Structure 1
Amino acid sequence: MVQPRILIVDDEERIRRLVRMYLERSGFSVTEAEDGPSAVQLALSEPFSLIVLDLMLPGLDGRDVCQQIRQHSEVPIIMLTAAGDEMNRIHGFEIGADDYVVKPFSPRELIMRIKALLKRAGEAEYARTDLQQALTFPELVIHIDARRVEVEGKEVSLTPKEFDLLVYMAQRPDKVFNREELLRDVWNYQFYGDQRTVDTHIKRLREKLGQASALVSQYIVTVWGVGYKFEVTQ
């Protein structure tokens, strides 16, 4: 079994050392970066299963690092943010982060988040699926096993969490989901999470689908006061 490779990006050696220790105990292979430019260079030159990315970095902050990586890669990214740094977390989701952990954090919680995200992203040692191979709708095909989305025959690049959210809703058309359900089942949160995480991902998912097809973006419907549903009217 191939060890999942994790890139830890943080300018504090103490945090990198602590996270490395817990990750290696959990069977992960770990690489470290202490600033933004080296993180981008590593992320784009070597294959990683997931990146743990601090928001405040020298040289290039975490938002810029995330944005540059997202131009070339859909590797799952967990962002480390300071407590109360709400706007930066929201912006992080908008530019492609998949999850966040607030400092100071529990290393065990971080490991749980990493495993949950890798499971959703399709890492072989964590992935379990009994899903059908493809979901087909007018102008939209979702290839579940390949984790690929085509709109009007052209591939649309989604982050792992955007893909998971789309699949989860598309498998249950017309069912209305509240934000708590989506956090629990898509993010695998067994505790209270920030419900705006869902709103931000829905917004970004609609934008990406809408750039390819106005029709497909309309499949994701807001049910005011409740949540969201996947609806095909054709």
Structure 2
Amino acid sequence: MIQCPMPRTILIADDDPHIRQLLAFALAKAGLDTIEAEDGEAALAAVESHAPDLVVLDINMPRMDGIETCRRLRARSDLPILFLSSRDDELDRVLGIELGADDYVTKPFSPREVVARVMAILRRTAGRPPAVADAAPPLRHGRLHLDPDGWQASWADQPVPLTATEFGILRTLVTMPSKVFSRDALIDRLHGPGFAITDRTIDSHVRNLRAKFAAVGAQDVIETRAGIGYRLGVCGAR
């Protein structure tokens, strides 16, 4: 099993104590610290008191479900979120992604799969250590500016807060601005070949990106090529 090279704390929010115990054991074997919450309200309190690096969040919980918990977390932070869903309806899962979750796993799940997805999100959040000490150069295209080391995005000097997955998609497009990426190609760049995720999840992240940049006056960040995929837009450089 892949080991986490740096200390990380994962919050497991699920009303089923068996699932919490199962995931805590699997994540601990991967070198990750864990804390637990039995519902959405407890999860919000745990985020405030423990500042975890990622939340594994069940959708169907009492008192406050995972959808509302995710909405409240996203209103105040870009903390990475991995949804657990017992619902087999893809619309529920896509809704979670549109709210700002980074990924999802459907129950019943393999603990190894959850660990693998948690590690992938953490890698995207922290970035891989560079081979040399030099900092990664900033990426610019028109009015768009990305800081790969700081995982920061801005438009005409206005910060645009992005989740790790959203930043990863945008960085992929910026590094090859003339290339049209299929949805499968974007999934491979973000997660590696063979990672099971739907095309609609990528579409949801792109909608989120467009909405966030539209809020600061950017309407041309990402272009859709019908039947093919996405590429970087002109980003105000007309």
Q: If the TM-score is normalised by the length of the shorter chain, which range does it land in?
A: over 0.9
> How far did 1:138 drift?
2.2
Q: Is 1:224 aligned to 2:189, yes or no?
A: no
In structure 2, stretches of 5+ residues that fail to align are none
Distance in 2, Cα, partners of 1:133 & 1:75: 25
Assess, with a 3 A threshold, how the Cα gap between structure 1 residues 224 and 154 changes in structure 2: closer, same or farther: same
Partner residue in 2 for 1:6 = 10
Q: 1:52 aligns with which of 43, 49, 56?
A: 56
Assess, with a 3 A threshold, how the Cα gap between structure 1 residues 168 and 178 changes in structure 2: closer, same or farther: same
Count of matched residue positions in the alignment of Structure 1 and Structure 2: 229
Distance in 1, Cα, partners of 2:193 & 2:76: 28
Q: Secondary structure of the equivalent of 2:97?
A: helix
Partner residue in 2 for 1:137 = 141
CA contact (8 A) 1:44 1:69 kept: no
> How far did 1:129 drift?
4.5
Q: Can you list the C-alpha shifts for 1:55-74, whole angstroms capped at 9, x where unaligned?
A: 00111000000010111111
Distance in 2, Cα, partners of 1:42 & 1:72: 14
> How far did 1:47 drift?
1.5
Distance in 2, Cα, partners of 1:4 & 1:209: 30
Distance in 2, Cα, partners of 1:79 & 1:192: 15
> How far did 1:83 drift?
4.7
Distance in 2, Cα, partners of 1:173 & 1:83: 37
Q: Can you list the C-alpha shifts for 1:141-184, whole angstroms capped at 9, x where unaligned?
A: 11111111111211111111111111111111010111111111
Distance in 1, Cα, partners of 2:221 & 2:121: 25
Q: Secondary structure of the equivalent of 1:141?
A: strand
Higher deviation after alignment, 222-231 or 180-189? 180-189
Partner residue in 2 for 1:96 = 100
Partner residue in 1 for 2:28 = 24
> How far did 1:2 drift?
4.6
State the TM-score, normalizing by the size of structure 1: 0.93
Q: Is 1:210 aligned to 2:207, yes or no?
A: no
State the TM-score, normalizing by the size of structure 2: 0.91
In structure 1, stretches of 5+ residues that fail to align are none
Assess, with a 3 A threshold, how the Cα gap between structure 1 residues 129 and 210 changes in structure 2: closer, same or farther: farther
CA contact (8 A) 1:222 1:228 kept: yes
CA contact (8 A) 1:83 1:104 kept: no
Q: Is 1:184 aligned to 2:210, yes or no?
A: no
